[in-house]
Chains A and B, each alone.
Chain A
Amino acid sequence: MTLSESVRQTPLHAEHLALGARIVPFGGFDMPLQYASILKEHDAVRNRAGLFDLSHMGQFMLRGQGVAEWADRLTINNVATMKPYQARYNVFCNEQGGAHDDVIFYRLPDYWLLIVNAANAQKMWTHLQEHLPVSGVTLESRHGANALIAMQGPKSAEMLRGVVDPDISELKYYFCLEGTVYEKPAIVARTGYTGEDGFELFVDGADAPEIWKRLLEEKKSGGLEPAGLGARDVLRLEAGMPLYGHELTEEIGPLSAGLTWAVKLSKPEFIGRSALERQKAEDTYPRIAGLILEGRAPAREGYAVFDKDRPVGQVRSGSIAPSVGNKNIATALAEKDAATIGTTLQVEIRGTRNAAQVVAMPFYKRGST
């Protein structure tokens, strides 16, 4: 099976148009970049709550007795040790130790839900099919059919009280439950990509518009605003979370991306294991460094990074950071020594070298402002 190439709009597309969103192509879908303003939407998520349409992300259902053992041989983190209703971040690597995709597994009683990046959905579908065992695992794609609505921000739990059944106030971070949202069946997970408390609601595409509209209408007075991919990118960068295609690629693997904690070399075998083991032993791999720039010019993807006069790397993401004192922050892939915290590097912006301090990530932590 090939995933449909014609799926271009999420079930919430008409809602985005009605809200006056600026639509951009992203991962094969027409997605809202922003509604009113990226900075206003960022502020809503940090201080109240924002509502995101993430229905472009690939949703695969994995069924069968063999899923955990099989998935453990394809990924760097542990799958089989996950408890029922637990969610866990993971990375599928290639044989060279680069990243094929970064994903979240959700363990449900009867199946596993695997969320992959939209731009990687076809690649991942092929990858999973190619590695499917003879028996014990079946795959189903719900990409484009299911919707994913995320509510992120400190007021999320309060806003979803009475909307989600059962009560989600005791739901632990990186766990999920099966229940309802406005009486429509849903998987509700306390996960997100913003650095704030928040929930992700996996619902049927047909139910999504009503849920989206009711939440925005009923929680508007509490400060809920629709938020687009522009705000999401600033939020995740401040929170030090990698974005596939930037901090993770087929060439930039999990060790370089600072995901050492997720690389379980204790697992006897998985794709990329020997390459990662070698990288770790040699310890010369380039690192994703967090940078805070001096001056007001933002760093952008591709800008060259220097240590004195020596080129040492390249910017992978950059943005103004409202939650980091309105400074310009960036990630750069840099040589190991240049990526040491406390080092002053230079980012070349239109021919001018701007000083940038290597800092520990995340740039922003919940409750720190």
Chain B
Amino acid sequence: MAQPADLLYSREHEWVRIDSDTATIGITDYAQSSLGDIVYVELPKVGTQVAQFSNTGVIESVKAVSDLYTPLSGEVTEVNEALENDPALVNREPFAGGWLFKLQVKDSKQSENLLSPDSYEELIAEAQ
């Protein structure tokens, strides 16, 4: 499956959509499919400062606990409240309604450390 072209990707299978100085972050379709049924999402609190590629939360499926990493540095401005009652939204709509949190981007140059859709596609092709 082709990766959405308007996003950037991390090696830890997060995606980021940059809209001026706001970044929306989620996990990829490949990530949700690998995890299986997601039953719990633990997100950073609004107002938290997070550093690129640091551990900022947890995603749990029925069988596994996985760490969540932020693809960019910044201040958390919003978290997806819908996931509290419906964590499986991440499975159903990983690139849309299943987004995880938003950041006020600290340093837009950090996006140079992220992968293009094509590079991410190659990464998961190698993993399979």
Contacts and interface: CB of A to CB of B under 8 A. Distances in A.
B36 A350 contact: no
A297 B40 contact: yes
Nearest to B41: A296
Given A230-B36, A297-B42, A38 B63 contact: yes
Contacts of B40: 296-298, 320
Contacts of A319: 62
B37 A39 contact: yes
B58 interface: yes
A300 B58 CA distance: 13
A83 B55 CA distance: 59
Q: Which of B37, B42, B65, B84 has the most CB of A within 10 A?
A: B37
Interface residues of B, number: 13
B42 A39 contact: no
Interface in A3-40: 22, 33-34, 37-39
Contacts of A39: 37, 62
Interface in B79-102: 84, 87
B60 A298 contact: yes
Interface in B1-51: 36-37, 39-40, 42
Interface string A321-336: 0000000000000000
Given A230-B36, A296-B40, A297-B42, A33 B84 contact: no
A33 B36 CA distance: 10
A234 interface: yes
A35 B62 CA distance: 14
Contacts of A33: 63
A38 B40 CA distance: 15
A229 to B, nearest CB: 9
Interface string A114-134: 000000000000000000000
B60 A234 contact: no
Q: Which of B40, B84, B87 has the most CB of A within 10 A?
A: B40
Nearest to A34: B36
A37 B39 CA distance: 12
A299 to B, nearest CB: 11
A350 B58 contact: yes
A39 B36 CA distance: 9
A230 B60 contact: no
B62 A297 contact: no
A38 B58 CA distance: 20
Given A296-B84, A297-B42, A300-B65, A37 B37 contact: yes
A22 B58 CA distance: 22
Interface of A: 22, 33-34, 37-39, 230, 233-234, 296-298, 300, 319-320, 350
29 contacts: A33-B63, A34-B36, A37-B37, A38-B36, A38-B37, A38-B61, A38-B62, A38-B63, A39-B37, A39-B62, A230-B36, A230-B62, A234-B62, A296-B39, A296-B40, A296-B84, A296-B87, A297-B40, A297-B60, A298-B39, A298-B40, A298-B60, A300-B65, A319-B62, A320-B39, A320-B40, A320-B62, A350-B42, A350-B58
